[in-house]
Amino acid sequence: MPLWLDSMAKQLDQHLDRLVDVLVENATVVLSGTKLASQLRVPHSTLWELIERLREMGAEIRGLPGTGYQLVKAPDVLTPRMIRRSLPAGEFGGRIHHHYQVDSTMSEAARLASANAPHGTLVVAEEQTAGRGRFGRTWFSPRGTGLYFTVILRPKLSPAAAPILTLLAGVSVAEAVSELASLPIDIRRPDMRWPDIRWPNDVLIGGKKCAGILVEMTAQPERVEHAQIGIGVNVNQAEIPAELAAEATSLRIEAGRGFSRLEVLVSILKRLEHYYHRLEERGAGAIVGRFGEISSYARGKRVRVTDGQRVIIGETVGLSPEGMLLVRRDDGEVEAVLSGLVRPES
Ligand code: BTN
């Protein structure tokens, strides 16, 4: 995108955020168009366009001729101010970049990280036009129902140690989903539905994926310069497109009720920060240990691992200290898997 178009889009996002915040904070009163326009420092014509945009996003805004505007129903958007209010002051979310539409929060975060964005910067989008997953897959990212965000980290890790960040994110998401959807994790009870983590990066409920994690980084030979943890959560989808229905689900489908995307985001961010500090204080073992407790894939699962041309079939027998998946092949040999697509094998 040309630079001028990019900066116009960012300015529009900021105006929309400000308008949402002012409308929400004054929901009980009628706000004059003149006052609103001057608070936002935009001409009346722009204000009108912004109001129309919010209406397209599901906001109900009553326009009272000659009097002003009143919010009837707030749009379900995640303005930085709303996030900040719900998030305890910490490193994660200290800086927030909110987009109504972006190509991918991963790409935007990588751009910001290269321009020195600090550790903990959050990039969150209402919609992604080029959301991506592992192995070059597309991450379907329509507006309104899902959660799409990336956190920039500046970890003191070597590139070889960085895969632990994927497990750290998986643990954070699974715990957040468990608490919010009241689905206690108990890997000894395969008959029950609870949030499971399919090594290394899929969060499942009842065997179907409700969230995915993508970690990308820029590194020197000895040191990670910056890493981006991207998380996509299917939150309020009432239905899953037929072609994905066998593989995917949403929190709403599993819990039988809708969720506040803000609450889901904040709950995950709090845990990400918590586990990140654990990693710094106690090393990878603390994350690997927790992963082993809450992922049915860590031990005793018959799996097929596909990594390019290489296929490993066998039973999982734990994780290495760095978080690699240990698979005992049928010939008895134990392989340490660093990356790959894992599926149950009968
Ligand atoms: C996967 O399961 O393959 C990973 C999916 C990761 C999707 C998230 S959505 C937010 C962030 N932006 C992206 O483009 N991808 C990640």
Distance 35 CA to ligand 1 centre (A): 40
pLDDT of residue 229: 98
- In tens, the pLDDT along 72-110 reads 998 889 999 999 999 988 888 899 999 999 999 999 999
> 166 in ligand 1 pocket by Cβ < 6 Å?
no
Ligand 1 atom 14: the closest Cα is on which residue?
A: 131
Query: 26 and 166 share a domain?
Result: no
3-state secondary structure the chain: CCHHHHHHHHHHHHHHHHHHHHHHHCCCCCECHHHHHHHHCCCHHHHHHHHHHHHHCCCEEEEECCCEEEEEECCCCCCHHHHHHHCCCCCCCCCEEEECCECCHHHHHHHHHHCCCCCCCEEEECCECCCECHHHCECCCCCCCEEEEEEEECCCCCHHHCCHHHHHHHHHHHHHHHHHCCCCCCCCCCCCCCEEEECCCEEEECCEEEEEEEEEEEECCCCEEEEEEEEEEECCCCCCCCCCCCCECCHHHHHCCCCCHHHHHHHHHHHHHHHHHHHHHHCHHHHHHHHHHHCCCCEEEEEEEEECCEEEEEEEEEECCCCCEEEEECCCCEEEECCCEEEECC
Query: 68 and 90 share a domain?
Result: no
- Mean pLDDT over each residue of the chain, to the nearest integer: 93
pLDDT of residue 177: 97
> 200 in ligand 1 pocket by Cβ < 6 Å?
no
Ligand 1 atom 1: the closest Cα is on which residue?
A: 133
Ligand 1 atom 11: the closest Cα is on which residue?
A: 230
Q: Residue 292: which pLDDT band, with cuts at 50, 70 and 90?
A: very high
Query: 57 and 123 share a domain?
Result: no
170 residue type, one letter: G
Percent of the chain with pLDDT over 90: 82
pLDDT of residue 248: 95
Query: 94 and 240 share a domain?
Result: yes
- In tens, the pLDDT along 151-162 reads 999 999 999 999
- In tens, the pLDDT along 116-139 reads 999 999 999 999 999 999 999 999
Closest CA to 28 of 57, 77, 62, 76: 62
Query: 133 and 164 share a domain?
Result: yes
Q: Residue 308: which pLDDT band, with cuts at 50, 70 and 90?
A: confident
- In tens, the pLDDT along 25-47 reads 988 889 999 989 998 999 999 99
Q: Which of 44, 73, 102 is the last residue of a domain?
A: 73
Distance CA 36, CA 67 (A): 12
How large is the average pLDDT for residues 210-230? 96
> 232 in ligand 1 pocket by Cβ < 6 Å?
yes
CATH number of the domain within which 34 lies: 1.10.10.10
Neighbour tally for 189: CB within 10 Å? 11
Q: Residue 346: which pLDDT band, with cuts at 50, 70 and 90?
A: confident
pLDDT of residue 91: 84
Query: 266 and 331 share a domain?
Result: no
Query: 215 and 318 share a domain?
Result: no
Judged against a pLDDT cut of 80, whether residue 53 lies above it is answered with yes
CATH number of the domain within which 98 lies: 3.30.930.10
Judged against a pLDDT cut of 80, whether residue 335 lies above it is answered with yes
Q: Which atom of ligand 1 is nearest to the CA of 212?
A: 2
Q: By residue range, what is the domain housing residue 330?
A: 299-344
Number of domains within the chain: 3
Query: 92 and 213 share a domain?
Result: yes
pLDDT of residue 188: 85
pLDDT of residue 105: 98
Query: 131 and 66 share a domain?
Result: no
Judged against a pLDDT cut of 80, whether residue 215 lies above it is answered with yes
Dihedral sign from CA coordinates of 1, 132, 160, 265: positive
Ligand 1 atom 9: the closest Cα is on which residue?
A: 232
> 62 in ligand 1 pocket by Cβ < 6 Å?
no
How large is the average pLDDT for residues 52-81? 90
Q: Which of 55, 73, 91 is the last residue of a domain?
A: 73
Q: 65 or 223: whose pLDDT is higher?
A: 223
CATH number of the domain within which 314 lies: 2.30.30.100
Distance CA 34, CA 50 (A): 14
How large is the average pLDDT for residues 53-76? 89
Closest CA to 58 of 151, 139, 126, 113: 126
pLDDT of residue 173: 98
Taking the model in full, what pTM does it have? 0.94
Q: Which of 25, 54, 73 is the last residue of a domain?
A: 73
Query: 15 and 149 share a domain?
Result: no
Query: 337 and 210 share a domain?
Result: no
Query: 62 and 84 share a domain?
Result: no
> 228 in ligand 1 pocket by Cβ < 6 Å?
no
- In tens, the pLDDT along 235-264 reads 999 999 899 999 999 999 999 999 999 999
